[in-house]
Amino acid sequence: MPDQMAQIEKLLSEDYGISTLQVLENAGLNLAVLARDKFLGNEPNGKKVVVVTGPGSNGGGAMVAARRLRNWGASVSLLLTEPNGKFEKETVEQFSICQKQNIPIVETIGKANLVIDGIKGYEFKGRLSNYEIKIVGEINDSGIPVLAFEMPTGLDLSTGSPGEKTIKAEATLGLAIPKYGHFRQKAAKFIGELFLSDICVPVEIYKSLKIPTENLARAFGESPVVKINKIVVFS
């Protein structure tokens, strides 16, 4: 399924002219909505949220959520796992907006109502860096609820296998389609409740990849964020 997601991203850009920046805006908005509705009691004003971001597009989407939550009144801060700011292009753009909004950067989790995990994306395989391992340990030890973006950091979505250090999330928001690793029993205690986000993938892309669309269309017709047990995407 991670390979299918890479194909979806390629087709979005090459065949439909939908940029990564547009996808990040859609995904990040849905991430913020889920954070607000599930973890902040539909009232973000004054709630403290730490958004932990990596240098890739996953971090960029989490920064979109940070911006949205700040606009809604939450006290938001960023914790960067790449302190030197070696971001991908789209993530640089999101970080620049966060800076213009004066969203502070912190070095530790501290006290918060919610942590959003935007460190790694669906393509992650292998090992975390020593600094990432430190941050994952700090998040798990904090006792603060965690909302993971696409997957809990440390989890391999191609297999569902957790790494030596993996974030334990209360909920995870997948993008466009659920991935194989989302459904593995060994991943369940790290993923928590699983939700799926509509990032506005044209139905023609799903059909070209032979992904059934009826249940997706029905679910996303109700809401751009759906709990995964509401739909059966693959047959």
Cβ neighbours of residue 2 closer than 8 Å, sequence gap 6 or more:
122, 123, 157, 158, 179, 180
Closest C-alpha to 106, from 33, 188, 51, 35: 51
pLDDT of residue 85: 66
Count of CB atoms situated within 10 Å of the CB of 45: 9
pLDDT of residue 6: 86
Closest C-alpha to 235, from 210, 205, 217: 210
Bridge partners, residue 173, by sequence: 149, 195
| 130, burial (CB in 10 Å: exposed 0-12, middle 13-18, buried 19+) | exposed
Q: In this predicted structure, which of 66-75, 140-149, 195-204 has the lowest mean pLDDT?
A: 195-204
Mean pLDDT across the stretch 15-28?
Answer: 93
pTM (2 d.p.): 0.93
pLDDT of residue 234: 39
Examine the pLDDT at 1 and tell me if it is beyond 60: no
In this prediction, residue 34 has a pLDDT band, given cuts at 50, 70 and 90, of very high
Dist CA 235 CA 213 (whole Å): 11
Spans of all domains in the chain: 2-230
Dist CA 178 CA 197 (whole Å): 9
pLDDT of residue 172: 97
pLDDT of residue 229: 66
Contact 119, 153 (CB under 8 A): yes
Average pLDDT, the chain: 91
Cβ neighbours of residue 182 closer than 8 Å, sequence gap 6 or more:
151, 157, 160, 172, 174, 191, 194, 228
Mean pLDDT across the stretch 217-234?
Answer: 75
* 107-162: pLDDT as tens digits: 999 999 999 999 998 889 888 999 999 999 999 999 999 999 999 999 999 999 99
Examine the pLDDT at 230 and tell me if it is beyond 50: no
**Percent above pLDDT 90 for the chain:** 74
Of residues 144 and 86, which shows the higher confidence score?
144
Could you confirm whether domain 2-230 is CATH 3.40.190.10?
Answer: no
What is the distance of C-alpha 50 from the center of its chain?
14
Examine the pLDDT at 2 and tell me if it is beyond 60: no
